[in-house]
Amino acid sequence: MDQCRGGRVLTAGSSISVAFLRHRSCGWLENSALFFSATDGFRTDLSGKRSWLVASLLALGLFLLGGVTNLYAQTESQPPTVHYNQEPGVPPDTACRLCHGDKDETLALPSGETLDLGVDLTVLQDSVHGQHSATPLYCTDCHQSRERYLYPHAPTPVQSLAEFVDEVEQNCTQCHQPLALHNPGHLQAEDTTNLPGCTDCHGGHDATSAAIMKAEPIATCQSCHATYADERVAAAHEEIVANLGPEQSCLTCHGDQQTTANQQCKTCHGLLQSQLTLASGDQVDLHVDGTLIDESVHGFREIQGTAYMPLQCTDCHKDQQQYGFPHPQLTTDTRRNLTLEMESICQECHQDIYQRQHDGIHGVKQAEGELSAATCFDCHGNHAIHDPDDPRERVSHTCGNCHGEINEQYAQSVHGAALIGEDNPDVPVCTDCHGVHDISDPRTAAFRVNSPTLCGGCHADKVLMAKYDISTDVFETYVADFHGTTVTLFERQSPDQETNKAVCYDCHGVHNILPATDEHSQVIKDNLLTTCRQCHPDASANFPDSWTSHFQPSREHNPLVYWVNLFYTILIPTVVGGFALFIGTDLYRRLWERRS
C-alpha cells in the first residue's frame, strides 16, 4: 500500500512479534508492548476469522510468556542482557514503526498545540540513531515509559509539546551526559524561557551525528539564533561567522567549556577584521591579534626568577560599563580622543611613570590642548609593547615617528650615524639627552644652561672618550673659558635665566652634530667664522682665533697664552716671595730689638 510508510522495512511477511526490550540503564526486561506485525496482505485479510483467531491465541500465549519472563526478570537481579525477539531479524519496535510510520493524524494537546503522530521512518532510519548507525536505537529506547507507550496507549498526561519533548529528553541522559554539563552556556542564560532542549539542536527522529553537526555547526545554531536583538551584535556576528576558520564555529566562543572574558575578547577581536567608524569619520581597527600580547612585555615573562603570566585583556580594559559585552555604543568622536581616553589605563600599574610623563613636555602640551602630544601608546604601542630600547636604535625610530625632521638630522650626525649604522652602545640616543618620561622642554633657559653638563656627562668621561680617542679637555676648557664660565654660573645660580653665551650645541649643532674634523662641521676652521658670527655678527677674520679650540694652552696650541701663564707663574711667586722675605727679615729685626 502506498500509504504504508513502514512497508519497505517490514517485508518479512505476516507475523506477530512481541518486543522484549532491554532497559539500557538497569538491564531489566520490559514487556513493553504487544504489536501486531503484518504484511500488506494482513489488512486485507483482517476479516478472516482463522487468521484473527490464530493471531489472538498466539498473542495471548506470548503475552503470558512475556509476563512470566518479566516476573522472572524482576526476581533475578541479573537478567539476561540480550534482545529478545521472538522472530530473529525482526526489530522489536516493528509495531511502533508500523503504526506511526503510516499515520498522518495529530493529537490535540491541552495547550492547544498539536502533536504530530506520524513518524518519517526514512528520516529516522537515516538519523544518528537509525538502523544503519553503529548504535541503533529502537523507538522504545526513547519512548520508554511503560504506562504510556504500552499498547493500547494510555491518554497522554502532557499538557504541551514542550512537556512532551522534555519528557522524551529525560531519556537522552541514559546515554549522553546531562545537558547541564554538555551545554552550560544555554543554561546560564539570564532569560530561561526559551532554553533549548537536546532535540532542539540535535533533532528528534532526525537526530544528527555530532560529526555532521560540527561540519555544519553554524546552521544548527542559526536555527534558533538567526536574528539578534542588538543590531551591532548582529553585524559583529555576521562578520565573525564569515571569518570563522576551518576549525572554528559558534562553539569556539559559545562552547561547552566556560570561557574566560580574556578568551572571549581575543576570539571575537581576533576574528573581526573590520573597522569601527567614529563620529568624525575616523576608523578604528577592531582586529586584535591576541598573540601580540603574549609575545609582548606583558606576555609570558620571567623577571628575577619569577614567571609572570600574560596580562588579560580585562586587566587593562577593565571598566565593565565600557568593556562589558555587548559593548555600549562608542561615543568618542575621533581616533585621537579614543587614544587619549585610554591612556589612563597604564596609570594603574605604572603610576610613577605615568605621573612623570604628565609632568613632562608631552603631558604639559597635552594638558594645554595639544592633542598630538605623545601618549604612552604613541611611543610604546598598545598590544605589541616591546622593550623600547631593544635595540637602542629603536628609541630613535620611536621618537622619529613624530619628530621626523629632527630624527633625520640626528641620523646624519656623528651620534646618529654610529647608532643606526653600527649599533654603537655609547652614543646618545634621544632619551639620553632629553630624558625619558619627564622630558623637559629643550627650549627653556634651564635646558640650555644645563646642556654643557649634559654633553660633559659623556665628553668629560675619560674612560668612555678614550675608546674614541676624544679629548676630555673639551669640558674643562669650555668651563674655563668666558662662555663656559658664564653658562656654568648661570646653571648654578640662575638656571631659569636666559644667557647669550654659547653652549656646546650653539657651535657644534644641535641634532646635526658632526665630528670637528668633518668638512661640513660648523666648528672646523673654515666654517668657524660663520659660526662665531651667529652671535658675534661683527666678528673679524682673526676673531675665531680668540677661541682656544678646547686646547689647554701649550707650546703647540695657544702658545702666547702658555707663555703669559708661565710668565705669571714665575713672576707672582718671585715678587710675593721677595716681599715675604723682606717682611720676614723685618719682623726678625723687630723681635730681636724687643728682646734685647
Partner 1 sequence: MSEKAQTYRRFDRWQRIEHGLLILSFTVLTLTGLPQKYSMTYWGSALIWLFGGIEVTRLIHRGAAILLMLETIYHAVAVSYKVLVRRVRLTMLPSWRDIVDGFHAMAYNVRLAKTPPRMGRYTFGEKVEYWAVIWGTVIMILTGFMLWNPIATTTFFPGQWIPAAKAAHSGEALLAVLSIVTWHVYNVHLKHFNRSMFTGAISHHEMQTEHAAELAELDAGHQPAPIATAVLQRRQRIFYPVAIVLSLVLLVALYLFVTIEQTAITTVPRQQVEVFTPQTPEASP
Query: Binding marks (x or -) toward partner 1, 382..421, rule CB under 8 A?
Result: x-----------------xxxxxxxx-x------------
Give min distance, CB of 423 to partner 1, in A.
21
Q: At 551, which helix (H) or strand (E)?
A: none
Q: At 84, which helix (H) or strand (E)?
A: strand 84-85
From 174, 280, 534, 554, residue interacting with partner 1 (rule: CB under 8 A): 534
Residue list 470-489, contact with partner 1 (CB under 8 A): 479, 481-482, 485-486, 488-489
Q: How far is residue 429's CA from residue 451's CA, in Å, rounded to a whole number?
A: 15
Q: At 303, which helix (H) or strand (E)?
A: strand 301-303
Going from the C-alpha of 561 to that of each of 539, 541, 546, 547, the distances in angstroms are: 21, 19, 10, 11
Give min distance, CB of 550 to partner 1, in A.
12
Give min distance, CB of 110 to partner 1, in A.
58
Q: Which is nearer to partner 1, 84 or 551 (CB)?
A: 551
Q: Which is nearer to partner 1, 200 or 408 (CB)?
A: 408
Residue list 494-533, contact with partner 1 (CB under 8 A): 494, 497-500, 502, 505-506, 509-511
Residue list 576-595, contact with partner 1 (CB under 8 A): 576, 579-580, 582-583, 585-586, 588-590, 592
Residue list 355-384, contact with partner 1 (CB under 8 A): 372, 375, 377-378, 381-382
Residue list 535-564, contact with partner 1 (CB under 8 A): 535-548, 553, 558-561, 563-564
Residue list 311-340, contact with partner 1 (CB under 8 A): 335-336, 338-339
Q: Which is nearer to partner 1, 257 or 592 (CB)?
A: 592
Give min distance, CB of 323 to partner 1, in A.
13
Q: Which is nearer to partner 1, 177 or 534 (CB)?
A: 534
Query: Binding marks (x or -) toward partner 1, 261..290, rule CB under 8 A?
Result: -----------------------xx-----
From 49, 462, 492, 594, residue interacting with partner 1 (rule: CB under 8 A): 492
Contact criterion met (CB below 8 Å) for 241 and 249: no
Going from the C-alpha of 95 to that of each of 23, 28, 35, 146, the distances in angstroms are: 18, 21, 5, 15
Q: How far is residue 128's CA from residue 59's CA, in Å, rounded to a whole number?
A: 33
Contact criterion met (CB below 8 Å) for 274 and 256: no
Give min distance, CB of 283 to partner 1, in A.
10
Q: How far is residue 434's CA from residue 442's CA, in Å, rounded to a whole number?
A: 7
Residue list 188-227, contact with partner 1 (CB under 8 A): none
- Buried b / exposed e along 216-241 (16+ C-beta atoms within 10 A): ebeebbeeeeeeeeeeeeeebbeebe
Q: Which is nearer to partner 1, 56 or 497 (CB)?
A: 497
Helix H, strand E, coil C: the string for 573-587 is HHHHHHHHHHHHHHH
Q: Which is nearer to partner 1, 200 or 378 (CB)?
A: 378
Q: Which is nearer to partner 1, 106 or 485 (CB)?
A: 485
Q: How far is residue 345's CA from residue 351's CA, in Å, rounded to a whole number?
A: 10
Contact criterion met (CB below 8 Å) for 67 and 30: no
Determine the angle formed by the axes of helices 404-412 and 414-422, rounding to 10 degrees.
90
Interface with partner 1 includes 575 (CB under 8 A)? Answer: yes
Measured in whole angstroms, the distance separating CA 199 from the mean position of its chain's CA atoms is 36
Going from the C-alpha of 235 to that of each of 227, 228, 241, 336, the distances in angstroms are: 10, 9, 10, 25
Give min distance, CB of 569 to partner 1, in A.
8
Interface with partner 1 includes 309 (CB under 8 A)? Answer: no
Q: How far is residue 359's CA from residue 258's CA, in Å, rounded to a whole number?
A: 44
Q: Which is nearer to partner 1, 309 or 571 (CB)?
A: 571
Q: How many residues bind partner 1 (CB under 8 A)?
A: 84
- Buried b / exposed e along 359-396 (16+ C-beta atoms within 10 A): ebbbbeebeeeeeebbbbbbbbebbebeeeeeebbebb
Query: Binding marks (x or -) toward partner 1, 422..461, rule CB under 8 A?
Result: ---------------------x------------------
Contact criterion met (CB below 8 Å) for 280 and 333: yes
Residue list 159-188, contact with partner 1 (CB under 8 A): none
